[in-house]
Structure 1
Amino acid sequence: MTAVNMQALLDELQHMTEAVLSNLLNLGEEEFEQFADQRQRIVEQMQSYQPSLTENDKQKIRDILSNDSIILQRMHVLKDEAGQWMEKRGAIRIQQHAYQQAYSVDSLFIDHRK
């Protein structure tokens, strides 16, 4: 009975990983987060079967894990893009803030272009 459950978990994990790999460039941050959460849930369920792992199970796990570097690279690209967007947004906010200051009615604002 435990071998059947372990195989079902491994098959689900492999199917999820293949689905992510096939749609890697179209996935957003939320989909990667869902994938990581589902994967964590499966790994936690597999912990109870660890003592009864066969060599075939271990090889299947190694095969699944061999795809991690590709998935992680894509996740890092998304993280870097988000970081660049945040920096750009911060610079825009600083520039806009200079023009949105509340000045008194009889004052002047002179913008010197560089």
Structure 2
Amino acid sequence: MSTLGKYINELELLTAEIVRSIDQIEYEQLAAFSEQREQLVFSIESQRGLLTTEYKLRLRKLSEFDKIILSKMEYFRQNASDWLEKQGTIKVQKNAYTSQYAANSLFFDQKN
């Protein structure tokens, strides 16, 4: 088997493993997968001229899983965005209550 075939095999195994466990996967695992996949794709791309019809079909089949993987990435991105937004709100509220006031001043919190 050629080096290119080994790269494609490794990419297939890596992708199958991620897709199989996509519901339980953590952000860190998905990030590691992305890095490994990127390295494999660069290696395959460097040998693009050697791609046979069989290899192209296998790669096309792998691209069918992209939607599942991207969906999970979007889920993590949205969670992170929500968390950051919540932290910003908490910071604003905290700053409102911890502002510097004179020791003998009064603070009235009115609820509407």
TM-score normalised by L of structure 2: 0.93
- Could you tell me which residue of structure 2 aligns to residue 6 of structure 1? 4
For residues 71 and 61 of structure 1, the distance between their equivalents in structure 2, rounded to whole angstroms, comes to 15
For residues 15 and 103 of structure 1, the distance between their equivalents in structure 2, rounded to whole angstroms, comes to 62
For residues 45 and 60 of structure 2, the distance between their equivalents in structure 1, rounded to whole angstroms, comes to 16
Q: Which residue of 98, 101, 104 maps to 1:100?
A: 98
The alignment yields a C-alpha RMSD, in angstroms, of: 1.2
Counterpart check, 1:50 vs 2:48 = yes
Once the two structures are superposed, what CA deviation does each residue of 1:47-66 show, in whole Å capped at 9, x if it has no partner? Answer: 23211211110110001111
Q: Which has the higher helix share?
A: 1
Which amino acid counterpart does residue 41 of structure 1 have in structure 2?
Answer: Q
Matched position secondary structure for 2:47: helix
Matched position secondary structure for 1:25: coil
- Could you tell me which residue of structure 2 aligns to residue 91 of structure 1? 89
Unaligned ranges ≥5, structure 1? none
What is the CA distance between 1:102 and its match in structure 2? 2.0
Once the two structures are superposed, what CA deviation does each residue of 1:38-84 show, in whole Å capped at 9, x if it has no partner? Answer: 11111111123211211110110001111001100111111111111
Matched position secondary structure for 1:26: coil
- Could you tell me which residue of structure 1 aligns to residue 37 of structure 2? 39
What is the CA distance between 1:20 and its match in structure 2? 0.8
Unaligned ranges ≥5, structure 2? none
List structure 1 segments (4+ residues) > 4 angstroms apart after TM superposition.
Answer: none
